[in-house]
Amino acid sequence: MDKKDYKILFVCLGNICRSPMAEFIMKHKVAESGVADRFEIASAGTSDEERGNPVYPPARKMLYRHGISCDGKYSRQIVPEDYHYYDLIIGMDSSNISDMYYAFGGDPEGKIRLLLDYTGHSRNIADPWYTGDFQATWDDVNEGCDALLVDLGLI
């Protein structure tokens, strides 16, 4: 009975900006839709650069502004077991995808996707660590999560 319908791992480079935003936006959306109990949602980074660090303050602030808490989230790096555990592993940009192919030894079960693939106009989500534009990150991640929910037949 504790088997979730969907186990989703969002992945970016550092796991302190984009993928935690995706994790907590998606958790918020499934809770609002009354289907949170069908999901297990988490995030991780391809790099261990930020391991153990909390969500980067501007990303945290953007979530708080929308009534979403990310307290208790600390960066972790992907591990090979993630590939078998999760049903869907969703990267933010094409580097995340190629880094995951390397870390997981390919994608034999077709679980790896780019978040904005779901929107029908696939592209990378720019890294706000470098651009400083957290509003653009919010807009892209929010649109991607809505499109993912449509793809899963939930909205």
38 is catalytic: no
> What are all long-range contacts of 26-35, with beta carbons under 8 Å and residues at least 24 apart?
26/145, 26/148, 27/68, 28/66, 28/67, 28/68, 29/145, 29/146, 29/149, 30/149, 30/154, 33/149, 33/154, 33/155, 35/154
In the complex, the residues that contact ligand 4NP under the rule CB under 6 A are 12-18, 49-50, 127, 129
Nearest CB to ligand 4NP, comparing residues 12 and 26: 12
Q: Which of 18, 70, 82, 113 is labelled catalytic?
A: 18
Please pick, among 82, 93, 127, 140, the residue that the annotation labels catalytic. 127
Verify whether residue 17 is a known catalytic residue. Answer: no
Say how far residue 96 (Cα) sits from the centre of its chain. 11
| Cβ-closest position to ligand 4NP | 14
CB of 56 to ligand 4NP, least distance (A): 7
- Catalytic residue at 70? no
Query: Which CB sits closer to ligand 4NP, 16 or 90?
Result: 16
Task: Give catalytic residue positions.
Answer: 12, 18, 127
